[in-house]
Structure 1
Amino acid sequence: MFRTALRNVLAHKARLLMTVLAVMLGVAFVSGTLVFTSTISDAYQKSSQKGYGHVDVAVQPHHREGGEGNPGEAPKLSQGLLDQVSKVPGAAFATGSVNGFAAIADKNGKLIGEGFSSSGANYYPGPGGKDARYPMKDGRAPHGAGEIALDAKTADRAGYKAGDTVRISVDGPVLTQKITGIFTTDDGSVSAGGSLALFDTPTAQKLYGKPGEFSQIDVKAAAGTSQTALKAGIDKVLPKDAESVTGKQLADDEAEIIARSMDGMRTSLLVFAGISLFVGIFIIANTFTMLVAQRTKELALMRAVGASRRQVTRSVLIEAFVVGAVAGVAGLVAGIGIGAGLRALINKTGSAIPDGPLVIAPSTVLVSMVVGIVVTMLAAWLPGRRAAKIPPVAAMNSVHAVATTKSLVVRNSIGGVLFALGAAVVLTASSSTMLGLGAAVVLIGVFVLTPLLSRPVIGAAAPVLRLFGMPGKLARQNAVRNPRRTAATASALMIGLTLITGLTVIAGSVQQAIDKMATQSLKADYVVSMASMTSLSPDVEKKLSAHPDVTATSPLRMSPSRVDGDFQNLTGVNGDSIGKLTKPEFTAGSFAGLSGDKAVVDDATARTHHWKPGSSFAVTFEDGKKGRLTVSGVYKGNDLMRGIMVDTKTLAPHASRLDDRQVMVKTKNGTSESVKDSLRKALGDNPAIQIQTKQDISDGISKLINVLLNMLYGLLAMAVIVAVLGVINTLAMSVFERQQEIGMLRAIGLDRKGIKRMVRLESLVISLFGGVMGIALGVFFGWAAGDLIKKGINTYELVLPWGRMGLFLLLAAVVGVLAALWPARRAAKLNMLSAIKAE
């Protein structure tokens, strides 16, 4: 039986090629994902370990939970503590670190780095007057407020050298600095395409905190002292608002964070790989069903001469094992190429990954082989079992075993139950997990019901097909002749288009909801913020309010506090002008009189605390001082505006540092490019600051949604490619099965052009059937997801992208036409006499 199975594999090389390709694509996606995520995870982890090479113990501020201390940030570390730590037995020296955001402009005024990875820090001279973390490649360390040092990679990218001047921004205002030195660093963010500017310590403290304070103290152990022993000594001198961590623990923690972040990416990519494999299962099952059907007489003869049912099933599974093993190996090799290609692609986009080797873990090899073999054998098991159950005499009398009425009734009943169950879960889902589970059950139910649905849906195309004469009529009959095969072929395309349509419907609806939210919430002409989403200096609002075209401004200033014992951010706004810049829907009260101890709150917060206008509540401000605020208004919150708002004058006395999240601006003549340019010039043409209109905000979110959508389209394209292979495979094997029929058609007058048209129309009908089903299901899932999305975006409404849905249907038609090219050509080239004699 083993030799027979191998012979059958070798005898049907061309027919099994499509199956190998389908499995190979899915396996390549899986192995490529594992190689890519393992490679970048390893690169980042090694980079982070290098970054902690100069740290044996780190002292950090410790914010105590549970009501102790002030609601604001944990206290910074003092110079006195640094001096004390450096004298602990076993400490060689201690370095004080200060860091924050620093946007650096290139010579054309554009922002260098990756925004969030554009950072600044201090140069802290240690033994010998040098900072071991940042060896100088050229020039010297910075001294004084007008000097910086720049990392070598950023300097190379921007063409800077020691002695040049550069424009930078920390929190809004532009600073012109002289580059005194170029340094090298093992900092992981720099290796990954970010930038790093170094100031001398007093300047960094002034920019990022307070004079004499540090955000972290790094201690280097003396020779012979372990990290654990040094930590124990340091713990004895630490105050209650500071804690120590070993360098090894820091590296391990960062490695764990990197691993977790990679897990999310890996899971997302593997989901799409799973979809491709799921689609591939239909093709494999279809292929083996047809191969077994073609060999029914052969298998019956084997049964007649003594082979058992188990042996027949086993021979089919052995064929599947060989096919799966070949596909697994090919998929692994292709996946390694995909992993390397993804890394190169990301590097080309500017989001550089730290240097490191391509990582091919043993688990990647094992998973690739297991996936290839197991998926193929699972898909082939049912056709093999079905073939083994056919009685030998019946099999010898009929080449094709027709499904019994009972089996179709059972199948339709199971499909109906699954569809109803899945739809009930989708319609009542309270989480995305439940929605996804219900959608999967619905898809399986529809797949089981597809043979039942194929006849009426394809039958609806009969009037159109009649226009093509006899080839059209034959194409319709061929499409519904074997409903199970048509269902399996169409279902592969249906799954891909269901996901693509559903995502498009949700994305379009979310985009409109955000547009509506921005229109409803904002009256401001412009919103000014840092490109990195870090805090703005209050000087930005002062400069804007002094501009001759500006009629009103208000910051959004966040301040941590404790409200009725719970941590809660207060939002500071200009009470006199906020009503001119925003228009939230108030359910009670208004912005009028927002000053002193008055506050307006969003409806969700009001419901949580059972507040209404006139209610008062206790508040502990950032500096620990206590007070009471009175609710003067309740408004409907959304993603652009929510929380507790008070006047900035109420917050200012309690804030350790005044930072604005953004500034809203109203101008005399509304929005225009000339006004925007004028505002930009007033802020020093700062590349780190973005000035956006409501349309800009909407376009930015739309661009992000489209980027994500295009990425998802690219990932789902794999499933569509697999579906195309399925249509080709089905048609090719259908042509082989119908050789006699095609020969007879040729003999009675149907020319080669008519044969080609018949096969193409059959392919087109099957593909459009899958497309219609996929688009209908996608719209259903998009509509069902609306209830979940409305909980976070109350302006969400279903939007049907008719243009894109028409494009998807056209895509299904193109798939059908392209998939039929080779089978149609093969059918037309059949010799009619040889075909008539074929068995």
Structure 2
Amino acid sequence: MKSYLSLIPISAKVHKRQNRMTLLCIIFAVFLVTAVFSMADMGIRMEQQRLLEKHDGLNMQDITDSAMGQSLYLSAGVLFVLILIAGVLMISSSINSNVAQRTKFFGMMRCIGMSKQQIVRFVRLEALNWCKTAVPIGLGLGIVTTWGLCAVLRFLVGEEFSHIPLFGISVIGIISGIVIGIVTVLIAARSPAKRAARVSPASAVSGNAEITSGVHHGVRKNMFKIDTALGVRHALSTKKNLILMTGSFALSIILFLSFSVLIDFVNYLMPQYSNTYDISIAGRRSEPIDQGLLNTIGGMDGVKRVFGRKSAFDVKAELNEKKVQPIDIISYDKFDLDCLTEDDMLKKGSDISKVYGDSNYVLATWDQNSPLKIGDKMRVGTKDVEIAGLLKYDPFNSDGSTRGKITLITSGKTFERLTGRTNYSLVMIQLSKDASEKDVQAIRQRTDGRYTFKDQREQNTSGTYMAFVFCIYGFLAIITLVTILNIVNSISMSVSARIKQYGAMRAVGMDARQITKMIAAEAFTYALSGCIVGCIIGLWISKAIYYFLITSHFHFAAWSLPAGDLAVILLFVLAAAIAAVYAPSKRIRNMAVTETINEL
């Protein structure tokens, strides 16, 4: 052996099993960053190709200055920082546990003359040695995943993704992946390296598996039994490890809650309404559409559903016996009204059941500046109606605001009684999946050029919506997987670091059930502290991101407690904590007492 550094590959082989989680953490970090930046790069190339077809003399600066380019780079940058923090916490926790298990090894190295600086260098180079395996695997997974996502977007989604490259190699993605791998490991190894350097030569003789301060008092068991109290004590005794474990669990919750906001953002950016139509036929003031056309089109090939709306504009009205500006009245048939409930567009307290049929109840659009409230009375012409419900926003304006205009939504029969009009101003058609161009042309011919025919199939965003949702849920799944693996591995390594203590406890009479309870108490102490910190910070960040991404652009949107998302991630953390207890407790039960005492 020429140098003490020759021990690094030997140590990697000996501790291959213990290093498995650290390698996975590095692989996931490199994979995520490579995939994120590669997809951003593919998006830029797609935007460049699209703009080149429209404009000549386009340069890269124009792409960078575009809204899409800035959004992609900003999103990738934010994800880079979040993944870096998550990777540092998880890898640092894993290396700390690894160092704790090899206290005797570092003590022996000090005994034969290795200096503190050499110990620090050894731990850092040992960590970098993992990058030789983890970084190429992470890069490969990131590139292959990028190819797969591009193929899905191009062939299954299509639409505006028809120009996205299929087998592109992103230099930016590869460099970013390499940087995240090396930087994360170097930052994560800093604290454990210093910890290993503080090991004294005396530790080689004592074989103490933990670097802890002296115990000044016994374990208090006022609230718990002795085995549970010992488990809690183990979790709280090493402050740095507690902070790392808590931070690691908390960051997983924070990342999950932060990414969950993107689902809401996509829902507002590309809302998927149940009554979205493929074709519209608009009548003219002088020539509205009669019921006969709806009946004819409803029986044609390729037509799934036909529904229409009647409208009356600038109708004189009074609100609570006070004159208001002229209002608009729009009729919804049964399907349209059902969609309001299905799409959750009504404010709390609304009773849409009163609106169906010929009734004296109506719905109204609403925003924060609207004077309307449920139960208000309105006089429309000579007829009195009551507001039975309010929409959360105005669907007839792109920004969701009413712009000071009162718009009432009625059933078809109520509309006819209030206005005396029976013909439609707008007919909407939903096509079946097997509808052909021939079917669309046949529908167009039925209008006889008397009405305005619009084919709006190209404006359908369902494919793009599903692509974005798929990507977001994919990242959430990866975050959840990393959370579970990290919890299971961290608890297992923490137990391994205290294997001599557990052996001594078994030697003095502690049974397997008590050992399991002690490990469970330690695991749930980490989980509880991580959940508390993660929920507090995560909900605050979730709210801040919500207002930044959504409320600032959609003023009618209001943040609410993401109870469902919170329950999902907490359930996974709880399940991971339970799973983390099983393997190490079983391993200790199957080991002989003498074996645990002599364990290095």
Query: Which bracket does the TM-score occupy, shorter chain normalised?
Result: 0.5 to 0.7
1:511-540: per-residue Cα shift (whole Å, max 9, x none)? 99xx9xxxxxxxxxx9999769xxx88636
User: Are 1:501 and 1:774, in contact at CA under 8 Å, matched by a contact in 2?
Assistant: no
The worse-fitting range, judged by mean Cα deviation, of 813-822 and 751-760 is 751-760
> Could you tell me how far 1:472 is from its partner in structure 2?
3.6
> Could you tell me how far 1:284 is from its partner in structure 2?
1.8
The one-letter amino acid paired with 1:325 is: K
The one-letter amino acid paired with 2:250 is: M
Q: Which has the higher strand share?
A: 1
Give 1:77-116 correspondences, 5 Å limit. none
Give 1:242-261 correspondences, 5 Å limit. 248-249=56-57, 252=59, 256=63, 261=68
**Could you say which residue in structure 2 is the equivalent of 1:835?**
596
Please give the secondary structure, in 1, of the residue aligned with 2:312: strand
User: Are 2:107 and 2:200, in contact at CA under 8 Å, matched by a contact in 1?
Assistant: yes
Choose which of 285, 290, 293 in structure 1 pairs with 2:97.
Answer: 290
Structure 1 CA distance for aligned equivalents of residues 13 and 73 of structure 2: 37
User: Are 1:279 and 1:723, in contact at CA under 8 Å, matched by a contact in 2?
Assistant: no
The reply to whether residue 36 of structure 1 matches residue 31 of structure 2 is no
1:256-293: per-residue Cα shift (whole Å, max 9, x none)? 37987356335425533542332221222122223333
TM-score, with structure 2 as normaliser: 0.64
Structure 2 CA distance for aligned equivalents of residues 364 and 305 of structure 1: 45
The one-letter amino acid paired with 2:37 is: L
**Could you say which residue in structure 2 is the equivalent of 1:373?**
182
User: Are 2:120 and 2:194, in contact at CA under 8 Å, matched by a contact in 1?
Assistant: yes
CA gap 1:306/1:833 in 2 versus in 1, 3 angstroms: closer
**Could you say which residue in structure 1 is the equivalent of 2:249?**
493
| Number of corresponding residues | 474
Give 1:270-285 correspondences, 5 Å limit. 271-285=78-92
User: Are 1:508 and 1:801, in contact at CA under 8 Å, matched by a contact in 2?
Assistant: no
Structure 1 CA distance for aligned equivalents of residues 188 and 521 of structure 2: 28
User: Are 2:484 and 2:572, in contact at CA under 8 Å, matched by a contact in 1?
Assistant: no
**Could you say which residue in structure 1 is the equivalent of 2:328?**
578
1:698-741: per-residue Cα shift (whole Å, max 9, x none)? xx999999996775453243333223232222222222222222
1:626-654: per-residue Cα shift (whole Å, max 9, x none)? xxxxxxxxxxx993236698xxxxxxxxx
Choose which of 316, 327, 330 in structure 1 pairs with 2:123.
Answer: 316
**Could you say which residue in structure 2 is the equivalent of 1:478?**
234
The one-letter amino acid paired with 1:721 is: L
Please give the secondary structure, in 1, of the residue aligned with 2:114: coil
Structure label with greater radius of gyration: 1
Structure 2 CA distance for aligned equivalents of residues 787 and 40 of structure 1: 26
Q: Which has the higher helix share?
A: 2
The one-letter amino acid paired with 1:553 is: A
User: Are 1:27 and 1:332, in contact at CA under 8 Å, matched by a contact in 2?
Assistant: yes
The one-letter amino acid paired with 1:369 is: I
Please give the secondary structure, in 2, of the residue aligned with 1:249: coil
**Could you say which residue in structure 1 is the equivalent of 2:72?**
265
Structure 1 CA distance for aligned equivalents of residues 91 and 483 of structure 2: 11
Choose which of 548, 559, 581 in structure 2 pairs with 1:820.
Answer: 581
CA gap 1:384/1:404 in 2 versus in 1, 3 angstroms: farther
CA gap 1:810/1:334 in 2 versus in 1, 3 angstroms: same
The one-letter amino acid paired with 2:152 is: L
Please give the secondary structure, in 2, of the residue aligned with 1:14: coil
Structure 2 CA distance for aligned equivalents of residues 545 and 336 of structure 1: 55
Choose which of 281, 302, 307 in structure 1 pairs with 2:114.
Answer: 307
**Could you say which residue in structure 2 is the equivalent of 1:2?**
5
Please give the secondary structure, in 1, of the residue aligned with 2:283: helix
Structure 2 CA distance for aligned equivalents of residues 258 and 315 of structure 1: 46
The worse-fitting range, judged by mean Cα deviation, of 759-768 and 385-394 is 385-394
> Could you tell me how far 1:551 is from its partner in structure 2?
6.5
Choose which of 459, 474, 479 in structure 2 pairs with 1:719.
Answer: 479
> Could you tell me how far 1:337 is from its partner in structure 2?
1.9
The reply to whether residue 388 of structure 1 matches residue 197 of structure 2 is yes
Structure 2 CA distance for aligned equivalents of residues 361 and 511 of structure 1: 29
**Could you say which residue in structure 2 is the equivalent of 1:553?**
312
User: Are 1:32 and 1:335, in contact at CA under 8 Å, matched by a contact in 2?
Assistant: yes
Give 1:726-737 correspondences, 5 Å limit. 726-737=486-497
TM-score, with structure 1 as normaliser: 0.47
CA gap 1:679/1:539 in 2 versus in 1, 3 angstroms: closer
Structure 1 CA distance for aligned equivalents of residues 472 and 286 of structure 2: 44
> Could you tell me how far 1:357 is from its partner in structure 2?
4.7
Structure 2 CA distance for aligned equivalents of residues 641 and 527 of structure 1: 21
The one-letter amino acid paired with 1:402 is: T
The one-letter amino acid paired with 2:480 is: V
User: Are 2:261 and 2:545, in contact at CA under 8 Å, matched by a contact in 1?
Assistant: no
Structure 2 CA distance for aligned equivalents of residues 551 and 680 of structure 1: 4
**Could you say which residue in structure 1 is the equivalent of 2:446?**
none
> Could you tell me how far 1:783 is from its partner in structure 2?
5.1
The reply to whether residue 402 of structure 1 matches residue 402 of structure 2 is no
User: Are 2:157 and 2:463, in contact at CA under 8 Å, matched by a contact in 1?
Assistant: no
1:726-765: per-residue Cα shift (whole Å, max 9, x none)? 2222222222222222223434454445544543443234
Structure 2 CA distance for aligned equivalents of residues 529 and 34 of structure 1: 34
Structure 1 CA distance for aligned equivalents of residues 142 and 477 of structure 2: 16
Structure 2 CA distance for aligned equivalents of residues 780 and 40 of structure 1: 31
Please give the secondary structure, in 1, of the residue aligned with 2:536: helix
> Could you tell me how far 1:20 is from its partner in structure 2?
0.7
Give 1:261-660 correspondences, 5 Å limit. 261=68, 264-265=71-72, 267-269=74-76, 271-347=78-154, 349-351=156-158, 353-354=162-163, 356-390=165-199, 392=201, 399=208, 400-402=210-212, 466=224, 471-501=227-257, 539=283, 552-554=311-313, 577-578=327-328, 585=369, 639-641=399-401
User: Are 1:304 and 1:392, in contact at CA under 8 Å, matched by a contact in 2?
Assistant: yes
Structure 1 CA distance for aligned equivalents of residues 274 and 288 of structure 2: 11
Structure 1 CA distance for aligned equivalents of residues 6 and 551 of structure 2: 61
Please give the secondary structure, in 1, of the residue aligned with 2:96: helix
CA gap 1:24/1:348 in 2 versus in 1, 3 angstroms: same
User: Are 1:286 and 1:488, in contact at CA under 8 Å, matched by a contact in 2?
Assistant: yes
Structure 2 CA distance for aligned equivalents of residues 812 and 680 of structure 1: 55
Q: Tell me the percent identity.
A: 20
Unaligned runs of 5+ residues in structure 1 are: 53-246, 406-458, 516-525, 556-574, 593-636, 646-662, 672-677, 690-699
User: Are 1:552 and 1:666, in contact at CA under 8 Å, matched by a contact in 2?
Assistant: no
| Higher relative contact order (CA closer than 8 Å, sequence separation 6+) | 2
Please give the secondary structure, in 1, of the residue aligned with 2:401: coil
**Could you say which residue in structure 2 is the equivalent of 1:800?**
561
> Could you tell me how far 1:46 is from its partner in structure 2?
5.6
Structure 2 CA distance for aligned equivalents of residues 347 and 488 of structure 1: 42
User: Are 2:135 and 2:178, in contact at CA under 8 Å, matched by a contact in 1?
Assistant: yes
> Could you tell me how far 1:23 is from its partner in structure 2?
0.8
Structure 1 CA distance for aligned equivalents of residues 398 and 173 of structure 2: 44
Aligned-residue RMSD, C-alpha = 5.1
The one-letter amino acid paired with 1:733 is: M
Choose which of 429, 435, 441 in structure 2 pairs with 1:685.
Answer: 429
Structure 2 CA distance for aligned equivalents of residues 304 and 344 of structure 1: 58
User: Are 1:756 and 1:824, in contact at CA under 8 Å, matched by a contact in 2?
Assistant: yes
1:528-561: per-residue Cα shift (whole Å, max 9, x none)? 99769xxx88636666576699774349xxxxxx
Please give the secondary structure, in 1, of the residue aligned with 2:149: helix
> Could you tell me how far 1:314 is from its partner in structure 2?
1.0
User: Are 1:33 and 1:270, in contact at CA under 8 Å, matched by a contact in 2?
Assistant: no
> Could you tell me how far 1:27 is from its partner in structure 2?
0.2
1:554-574: per-residue Cα shift (whole Å, max 9, x none)? 49xxxxxxxxxxxxxxxxxxx
> Could you tell me how far 1:305 is from its partner in structure 2?
3.8
User: Are 1:296 and 1:395, in contact at CA under 8 Å, matched by a contact in 2?
Assistant: yes
**Could you say which residue in structure 1 is the equivalent of 2:413?**
669
Please give the secondary structure, in 1, of the residue aligned with 2:212: coil
The one-letter amino acid paired with 2:312 is: T
User: Are 2:313 and 2:328, in contact at CA under 8 Å, matched by a contact in 1?
Assistant: yes
User: Are 2:250 and 2:534, in contact at CA under 8 Å, matched by a contact in 1?
Assistant: yes
